[in-house]
Amino acid sequence: MACICPPRHAWRTAVRMKSSRNRSTTLMLVLLLAIVLVFIVLLFEFRTLAAPLSILASAILSTSGVLLALLITRTDFNIASFMGLIMVIGIVAKNGILLLDADQKFRSAGYSAEESMIQAGRRRLRPILMTALAAIAGMLPLALALGAGSQMLQPLAIAVIGGIAISMVLSLIITPAVHYYLSHAELRPLTSSSVNRV
């Protein structure tokens, strides 16, 4: 015979499901708003589309590290881990700003696009690695659930560690590559129009 749940139990289950859906929707809106705000800030910072898009490409790809870390540790993707994912996007954006700011300085000094990107990677390699390792070290006690109440924030710490770990590679590879391609794509219409005028 089929089990019939009491009306009160069914009502509580429906309320919990509705509240969890509302939280997921709210967090998705927060994630989209964070991406939009980061894009606007980067657009005002660099005044070109190539830099914001290249940084956001690396930041969005870094979310794969979040999912991979949760999969390896068999941790549920919940509200805490979603908050960690949002934090990763901000941290990766900071690394991209460091890298592309150095790239602009080398270009203004007379370096070519390829050489300036290589020199920027060498110059910013140590700060990016040090900040990433410091953030990972700070999150380790939470990830290992050491201390009272740390289990609630354990998914957040695991998500941040996974995202930052993979962002160390992506920030030094994806961001320069996408920026180089997009900056050349922006220069092509300008050069073609100048040739037509001549």
pLDDT in tens, 106-141: 888 888 888 888 888 888 889 888 988 998 998 888
Confidence at 197, pLDDT banded by 50, 70, 90: very low
Q: What secondary structure letter does DSSP report for 49?
A: S
Is 0.85 surpassed by the pTM of this model? no
174 and 58 Cβ atoms separated by less than 8 Å: yes
User: For position 194, what pLDDT does the model report?
Assistant: 38
Overall average pLDDT of the 165-194 stretch: 74
Average pLDDT, the chain: 81
Chain position carrying tokens 């657009």? 43
pLDDT in tens, 10-28: 555 555 555 666 677 888 8
* Stretch among 32-36, 121-125, 166-170, 191-195 having the lowest mean pLDDT: 191-195
Which of 109, 126, 105, 118 lies closest to 180, judged by CA?
A: 118
132 and 165 Cβ atoms separated by less than 8 Å: yes
Q: Name the CA dihedral angle for 34, 39, 44, 50, rounded to a multiple of 10 degrees.
A: 160
Question: For the chain, where are the alpha helices, taking DSSP H only?
Answer: 7-46, 50-61, 63-72, 79-108, 113-143, 154-197
Overall average pLDDT of the 31-48 stretch: 88
Domains and CATH numbers, the chain: 48-186 (1.20.1640.10)
92 and 163 Cβ atoms separated by less than 8 Å: yes
pLDDT in tens, 67-105: 999 999 998 888 888 888 888 988 888 888 889 988 888
User: For position 185, what pLDDT does the model report?
Assistant: 66
